[in-house]
Amino acid sequence: MARETDTARSTESGLPIEPVYGPGALDGWDPAEKLGEPGAYPFTRGVYPSMYTGRPWTMRQYAGFGTAVESNARYQQLIANGTMGLSVAFDLPTQMGHDSDAKISSGEVGKVGVAIDSVDDMKVLFGNIPLDKVSTSMTINAPAALLLLMYQLVGEEQGVPADQLTGTIQNDVLKEYIARGTYIFPPKPSLRLIADIFKYCRTEIPKWNTISISGYHMAEAGASPAQEIAFTLADGIEYVRTAVAAGMDVDDFAPRLSFFFVSRTTILEEVAKFRAARRIWARVMRDEFGAKNPKSQMLRFHTQTAGVQLTAQQPEVNLVRVAIQGLAAVLGGTQSLHTNSFDEAIALPTDKSARLALRTQQVLAYETDVTATVDPFAGSYVVETMTDEVEALALDLMRKVEDLGGAVNAIEHGFQKGEIERSAYRIALEQDAGERVVVGMNRFQLDEEDPYDPLRVDPAIEAQQAARLATLRSTRDQGAVDTALAALQKAAQGTDNVLYPMKDALRARATVGEVCNALREVWGTYVPTDAF
């Protein structure tokens, strides 16, 4: 009778996992070509020579809810507990370019992130936080330019020069069309806006990472690891082509590109995925775009542990999942990491659960030995084999995207969305059948769950934000706002960089909704096609 451990297994990308790996798996394998040295092309072993032996990754905890006052208090707590960088979660109205008092925003204000309507909210959000001392990441896409300019304006009011601001805007609208849905404008004007951001930051905010090309949200929608990196890198290629077509030299902007991936509980495949992604990107940048600067060839990335793998059942078990996922990200060579809180499948994290999530990273960094050596899995038969296999699957998917005319055309055909939906359906069927075990959900359940008191957002904040907006509109110089918005629309109709008039409008206290509505009138809004 076969033992349970003899059952054949496969990776999330559908690759078979062999019971034993040995030298034969790497026959004909050239270490010089596949690996190189840490910090050198093709960066399989990491983007820096010393990796974590000199300093750990950036511990950047994602947070934001309710009002700017509440989120600022959470940031202060995280900083006091040792976080190295802030990561801002915005509510859905902000992400979709609507003001808190808009009819469409009803019921969503402050729910999944902080409500930001104007520069005044941004000032409160970063009150008593010196912007020349922290690195800030903002998970914002379609209106990314607005939030970046608000951050710059707050810095100016703090007396911080723009060339001292460091951080990242996600600014990855293509994945919104594929997996997440918080788009505003159609693809072409969205890409034009991204190119304008690249140009603006090169001159005005040179240390800022202008885009974080995201596979995380594709993975949350059900993408396999191979799909995650394939479609993310295909989006990256589209952004690089857009910038080059706008007249920029690849080495002038590519060093500021960054990426954002998920880290699942499947440690071996995740490590292989990260290594394969670095290798593919290095070759694309060198061979297709002729990038000469090694920094242009590096795939630098932030990682978040897998929210989609958290369970509302027995939520304390998520502490174990997050620790494993964080370890996978570290072994894979991430540059920064957010570890989810154990209660996020139920509600927003409490102060205690957010602190525990940060402490998980600190244990990995300071109590384990994984930071004592660069690339601990280099030369592993199983990891090197899996890296090659994931790379081959990803390259095949990227070729299919190219055959459809590139990422934008493939999106319009519904290709990426369809592939991800099929993967998500397969995983759901496996979980329903018990073939894919989820502890506490389809095996090892409890008859009765322990009670849990979640953090809840006060619904009164919607009225509070509406009152703040009413005060703002009654006290600002409306003529200056109207003039600035008209200048923004004129730039949007032509070829001038829209960020300069946009900044003038925001300085005059135009709101997020007003700025986005001005651009909607010129560029229109995106209506998705169904996946085939």
Q: How is 386-412 classified by DSSP, letter by letter?
A: HHHHHHHHHHHHHHHHHHTTSHHHHHH
Count CB-CB contacts under 10 A for residue 153: 17
Whether 50 is covered by a domain: the verdict is yes
Confidence at residue 338, expressed as pLDDT on a 0 to 100 scale: 96
SS3 label, residue 211: strand
Half-sphere exposure of 106 (CA within 13 A, CB side): 2
**C-alpha closest to that of 63 among 76, 74, 77:** 74
Whether 151 is covered by a domain: the verdict is yes
Confidence at residue 530, expressed as pLDDT on a 0 to 100 scale: 60
Compute the distance between CA of residue 37 and CA of residue 294 in angstroms, rounded to an integer.
13
Confidence at residue 452, expressed as pLDDT on a 0 to 100 scale: 82
Whether 59 is covered by a domain: the verdict is yes
- Decide if 509 contacts 484 (C-beta within 8 A): no
Distance of CA 367 to the CA centre of its chain: 27
- Decide if 400 contacts 411 (C-beta within 8 A): no
Concatenating the DSSP letter of every residue in 293-317 gives: SHHHH---EEEEE-GGG--SSSTTH
Question: Given the structure tokens 């990335």, which residue do they identify?
Answer: 301
Confidence at residue 3, expressed as pLDDT on a 0 to 100 scale: 37
Whether 416 is covered by a domain: the verdict is yes
Distance of CA 410 to the CA centre of its chain: 21
Whether 23 is covered by a domain: the verdict is no
Max CA pair span of the chain: 82
Q: Lay out the sheet containing 336-338: strands in order across.
A: 208-209, 166-169, 135-139, 85-89, 58-63, 336-338, 301-305, 257-263, 211-214
Whether 439 is covered by a domain: the verdict is no
Compute the distance between CA of residue 459 and CA of residue 108 in angstroms, rounded to an integer.
9
Amino acid identity at 241: R
Question: Given the structure tokens 């809810």, which residue do they identify?
Answer: 65
SS3 label, residue 81: coil
- Decide if 179 contacts 417 (C-beta within 8 A): yes
- Decide if 326 contacts 364 (C-beta within 8 A): yes
Give kind and range of the element (H or E) at residue 479.
helix 478-493
Amino acid identity at 323: A
Confidence at residue 7, expressed as pLDDT on a 0 to 100 scale: 61
Half-sphere exposure of 241 (CA within 13 A, CB side): 14
Range of the domain at 258: 45-432
Whether 493 is covered by a domain: the verdict is no
Whether 470 is covered by a domain: the verdict is no
CA angle 426-431-434, nearest 5°?
A: 125
Question: Given the structure tokens 């590519």, which residue do they identify?
Answer: 254
Compute the distance between CA of residue 230 and CA of residue 416 in angstroms, rounded to an integer.
10
What are φ and ψ of residue 522, in 5° steps?
A: -90, -50
What are φ and ψ of residue 87, in 5° steps?
A: -140, 120
CB within 8 Å of 379: residues ≥ 6 apart: 31, 35
Domains in the chain, number:
1
pTM: 0.93
Confidence at residue 1, expressed as pLDDT on a 0 to 100 scale: 33
Task: Give the pLDDT of the chain (532 residues) as one tens digit per residue.
Answer: 333 444 678 999 999 999 999 988 888 888 888 889 999 999 999 999 999 999 999 999 888 999 999 999 999 999 999 998 899 999 999 999 999 999 999 999 999 999 999 999 999 999 999 999 999 999 999 999 999 999 999 999 999 999 999 999 999 999 999 999 999 999 999 999 999 999 999 999 999 999 999 999 999 999 999 999 999 999 999 999 999 999 999 999 999 999 999 999 999 999 999 999 999 999 999 999 999 999 999 999 999 999 999 999 999 999 999 999 999 999 999 999 999 999 999 988 999 999 999 999 999 999 999 999 999 999 999 999 999 999 999 999 999 999 999 999 999 999 999 999 999 999 999 999 999 999 999 999 999 988 888 888 888 999 999 999 999 999 999 999 999 999 999 999 999 999 999 999 999 999 999 999 999 999 999 988 664 3
Helical spans, DSSP H, in 62-143: 68-80, 92-95, 119-125
Confidence at residue 25, expressed as pLDDT on a 0 to 100 scale: 84
**C-alpha closest to that of 268 among 385, 164, 160, 162:** 385
SS3 label, residue 56: coil
Question: Given the structure tokens 């070729």, which residue do they identify?
Answer: 399
Output the CA–CA distances (angstroms, integers) from residue 118 to 101, 130, 183, 443, in the order listed.
12, 19, 20, 48
Compute the distance between CA of residue 269 and CA of residue 24 in angstroms, rounded to an integer.
20
Output the CA–CA distances (angstroms, integers) from residue 61 to 19, 55, 64, 355, in the order listed.
37, 18, 10, 10
Compute the distance between CA of residue 484 and CA of residue 501 in angstroms, rounded to an integer.
6
Name the token pair of 21: 């790996």
Output the domain CATH number for residue 349. 3.20.20.240
